[in-house]
Amino acid sequence: MNTECVIFHQKNSLACGYIDLSNSKIKVNYFLTSEPSNNEVQEISASRFVYRWTEVIESNADKLEFLKTKYIPKKDFSYSLLRYWQKNLDSLTNPVPLVDLVHFCCENYDLAPHIVMTLESTMATYFKRNVHGHYELIDKYIVTQRQWKITTKKWLSVAMENTVVPWDHEYQPLVEQLRCVLINQQNSKHWSDITSILFQINNRENAKNIEDYWSGTVLRCYNALAPNKKLSWPEIYKLRAKLVSKPTQLCGEGGKDVVDMPVKFRISRGTFTFTIDSAQTRDFDDAVTILHVDNGGIAISVHIANIASLMLMKTTDFKEDPLFKEAEKNITSVYIPEISGQTVFPMLPTEISEGKYSLVEGKLRQCISYDFYITKTGDCQFVGIYPEYIRIDRNLSYEDAEVLINDDNAEPFWQTLSQCCQALQNKRFENGAIDFGQSEDLDITISVEDVVEIKVTSRESFKSANIISELSVLVNSKIGEFFAKNGVPALYKSHPPFTLKTGAPKPPKISDVIFQNGPGSITTIPSPNSVIGVNYYSQQTSPLRRFYDLLLQLQLVYFIGTNCILLSEYELKNYAKKIQEVVGEKSQIEKNIIKHWVIKYLKQNLEKGEDVCNCISKRYDGNTGLHHVALTDLGNVILQVKVDTKNPSERFKVAQLLSVDHYTHHVTIKPIL
Domain 611-671 is of which CATH architecture?
Beta Barrel (2.40)
3-state secondary structure of 105: helix
Q: How many helices (H) and strands (E) does the chain have?
A: 18, 27
pLDDT value of residue 664: 81
Tell me the CA end-to-end span of the chain in Å, nearest whole number. Answer: 81
Mean pLDDT of 72-87: 46
C-beta of residue 475 within 8 angstroms of C-beta of residue 304: yes
Residue 253's pLDDT band (boundaries 50, 70, 90)? very low
pLDDT value of residue 663: 81
In the predicted structure, residue 552 carries a pLDDT above the cut 80? yes
Residues in the chain: 673
Give the phi and the psi of residue 76 in degrees, each rounded to 5: 65, 15
In the predicted model, what is the mean pLDDT of the chain?
78
Mean pLDDT of 345-372: 92
Q: Which residues contact residue 321 at a Cβ distance below 8 angstroms, ignoring those fewer than 6 apart?
A: 252, 254, 311, 314, 315
In the predicted structure, residue 156 carries a pLDDT above the cut 90? no
Residue 503's pLDDT band (boundaries 50, 70, 90)? confident
Q: Which residues of 307-338 are buried (b: 16+ CB within 10 A; e: fewer)?
A: bbbbbbebeeebeebbbbebbbebbbbbbbbb
- Rounded-to-integer distance, Cα 124 and Cα 122, Å: 5
C-beta of residue 619 within 8 angstroms of C-beta of residue 628: yes
pLDDT value of residue 123: 54
Residue 73's pLDDT band (boundaries 50, 70, 90)? very low
Mean pLDDT of 155-162: 85
3-state secondary structure of 21: coil
Q: Which of 391-395, 460-464, 566-570, 589-593 has the lowest mean pLDDT?
A: 460-464
Mean pLDDT of 368-387: 93
Residue 626's pLDDT band (boundaries 50, 70, 90)? confident
Segments making up each domain of the chain, as ranges: 2-140, 141-231, 258-589, 611-671
Q: Which of 109-118, 138-147, 505-514, 533-542 has the highest mean pLDDT?
A: 533-542
Distances, alpha carbon 59 to alpha carbons 2, 16, 23, 114, 493, in Å: 11, 18, 20, 19, 91
Contacts for 445-452: CB closer than 8 Å, 24+ residues apart: 445/337, 445/341, 446/337, 446/338, 446/339, 446/597, 447/339, 448/339, 450/339, 450/600, 451/604, 452/597, 452/600, 452/601, 452/604
Q: Which of 75-79, 180-184, 371-375, 589-593 has the lowest mean pLDDT?
A: 75-79
Q: Any bridge partners for residue 137, and if so which?
A: 127
In the predicted structure, residue 247 carries a pLDDT above the cut 50? no
Q: Which residues contact residue 292 at a Cβ distance below 8 angstroms, ignoring those fewer than 6 apart?
A: 271, 298, 299
Q: What is the DSSP letter of 373?
A: E
Distances, alpha carbon 573 to alpha carbons 311, 489, 524, 552, 570, in Å: 21, 10, 7, 12, 5
Q: Which of 1-10, 120-129, 208-217 has the lowest mean pLDDT?
A: 120-129
Q: Any bridge partners for residue 523, and if so which?
A: 492
Three-point CA angle 131, 134, 138, nearest 5°: 95
In the predicted structure, residue 231 carries a pLDDT above the cut 80? yes
Q: What is the DSSP letter of 354?
A: I
